Structure 1
Amino acid sequence: MMYGTWPELLVVDVEGNGTTPPDLVEIAALPIRDGRPDKTTAKVWLTRPNRPVTPFATRVHGLSNAALADKPAWSEIAAEVHSFLGTAWICAHNAHVDYGVVSAHLPMWQPAGVLDTLRLARKTFPGLSGYSLDALIKHVKPDLSEAPGQRHRAAFDAYATAQLLIAMASRYETWNQLVAAAVPPGLPGAPEPEKDPTLW
């Protein structure tokens, strides 16, 4: 696939405080340029949630209430995050979740489209026993030697998702084929269903 034909694309990962619906505690946005993750222009924001982080969430990502106590509230960084995301395509693993959380926090944000590496992996590698990020890392074996931080933090997971996307995209000849395989129905950028030519 010719990566030069890709539109502007950011791999996004979020970490939440463990409540339902979640408050954001961390969001990473990693541009993909020329078929590679561009760490030099990537952004990561930590934010103090309105409601406390649950013990379970802290066990997953390691971000405690104490660690976030001096971080800005979401209202202080929302405009900057919105500006950085702009109208670019985004990609996330199990994108319904990340897209839903970011949309709830940025009601005016409208990405050009949403790629889901979970959906793409099910099309690209049918028959795997699991499609979690860990399962796909084990299957694809992407180079994560330059991944920042550790697993379950937004920057690391965004980098891993980017490497998985790039590895799977190489199996598709065009951007439109990738979109058809990777965009969940109902999310921005989903291909229009084929119209039945027999209908007037």
Structure 2
Amino acid sequence: MNPATWPTLLVVDVEGNGTNPPDLVEVAALPIRDGQPDKSTAGWWLTRPNRPVTPFATRVHGLTNDDLADRPTWADVSDQVHAFLGTAWICAHNAHTDYRVLRAHLPGWEPTGVLDTLKLAKATFPDLGKYSLDNLIEHVQPDLSQAPGHRHRATFDAFATAQLFLTMACRYDTWDQLTAAAVPPGLPGAPEPEKDPTLW
């Protein structure tokens, strides 16, 4: 399959402040162009949450309240994020989470489709057993030498997810085959169920 024929695709990752529901503190959106992650045109936003970052969240992604004290609020950047994402396809690991959180923070936003590397990995590597991002990185061994930041930061995780997605996508002959394996049921871009020919 020729990646040049793919629709506009952004690999996204979000990090939150640890509350439920979360306030966003970091969003990364990494375009895939001609089969490669394009860091030169990526979108990246750090924001100051309305509620403090919890100690647990800080232990995960490393961002503290002091790190974010001088950053804009989500209200200051939401229009930029909305415009950047547009109607592109998005790809994420365990995409339900990123899609749900972004939809909650971006009223009116709807991607054309949602690809999930977790679902895709289960179809591509059915015998792997564990499908966390760390397990897939260990199994696939993608080149992460150009990944920005570190694990559990949105920029790094989006880059790693992009590399995993590209490796797995090579195993599918057509975009339709890829979306059938990668789009979770009920999310945008999911294949329409076949109509029962006996119904009229």
**Aligned pairs (5 A) from 1:120-159:** 120-159=120-159
Read off the aligned partner of 1:121 and give its amino acid letter: A
Which residue matches 1:166? 166
Instruction: Find the residue that maps to 1:145 and give its secondary structure.
Output: coil
How far residue 195 of structure 1 moved from its aligned partner, in angstroms, is 1.0
* Residue aligning to 1:52: 52
Per-residue deviation, 1:5: 1.1
Tell me which residue corresponds to 2:89.
89
Supply the AA of the counterpart residue of 1:49: P
Secondary structure of 2:26's counterpart equals strand
Aligned-pair identity in percent equals 75
Partner Cα separation in structure 2 for residue 127 and residue 188 of structure 1: 27
Match in the other structure for 1:30: 30
| Equivalenced residues, count | 200
2: CA distance, partners of 1:99 / 1:67: 25
- Where does the alignment leave 5 or more consecutive residues of structure 1 unmatched? none
Shift of 1:129: 2.4
Paired with 2:12 and 2:55, the residues of 1 have a C-alpha distance of 24
1:198 matches 2:198: yes
The alignment's TM-score, normalised by the length of structure 2, stands at: 0.99
Per-residue CA deviations over 1:93-114 (Å, capped at 9, x if unaligned) read 0000000000000011110000
How far 1:196 moved relative to its partner? 1.5
Runs of 4+ off more than 4 Å:
none
Following the alignment from structure 1 to structure 2, what is the Cα–Cα distance between the partners of residues 177 and 129?
A: 22
Q: Matched residue of 1:44: which SS?
A: strand
Aligned partner letter, 1:101: V
| TM, length-normalised to structure 1 | 0.99
Q: Which runs of 5+ in 2 are unaligned?
A: none
